[in-house]
Amino acid sequence: MAVKSHPTEIYALIARYLAGEASPEDRRRIEQIFIDHPELKSEFEFFRFLLEKHDQRQAQVPFKNGFERITKRLKDEGLR
């Protein structure tokens, strides 16, 4: 698989993997992509780091405050 020809598909695969939603086939594909394109492994590790930092910060925010922020953002974006 050529990386430049399917970047959206690859990043969607990475997103599923990071979200814990990757199927066994997805995991095999991403592992092969990392072998074929080691530069993507570095990007993946960076995304994982950011996600872990985000999760750590969210764990420190009281639920009510987080809910209020999400509600405000939805209103600001016209989605609620």
Q: Give the model confidence (pLDDT) of 1-45 as tens digits.
A: 555 555 788 888 888 888 889 999 999 999 999 999 888 888 888
The separation between CA 43 and the C-alpha centre of its own chain, rounded to angstroms, equals: 11
Contact 1, 33 (CB under 8 A): yes
Mean pLDDT over 43-51 rounds to: 85
55 inside domain: yes
User: What is the biggest distance separating any 2 CA atoms in the chain, rounded to whole angstroms?
Assistant: 45
The boundaries of the domain holding residue 44 are: 7-76
Burial class for 7, CB neighbours closer than 10 Å (0-12, 13-18, 19+): exposed
18 inside domain: yes
Residue 48, pLDDT above cutoff 80: yes
1 inside domain: no
Q: Give the model confidence (pLDDT) of 55-71 as tens digits.
A: 666 665 555 566 677 77
Task: Please tell me the distance from the alpha carbon of residue 67 to that of residue 5, in angstroms, as a whole number.
Answer: 39
> What residues contact residue 11 under an 8 Å CB cut-off, 6+ apart?
none
More confidently predicted of 53 and 27:
27
Q: pTM for the full model?
A: 0.54
2 inside domain: no
The number of folded domains in the chain is: 1
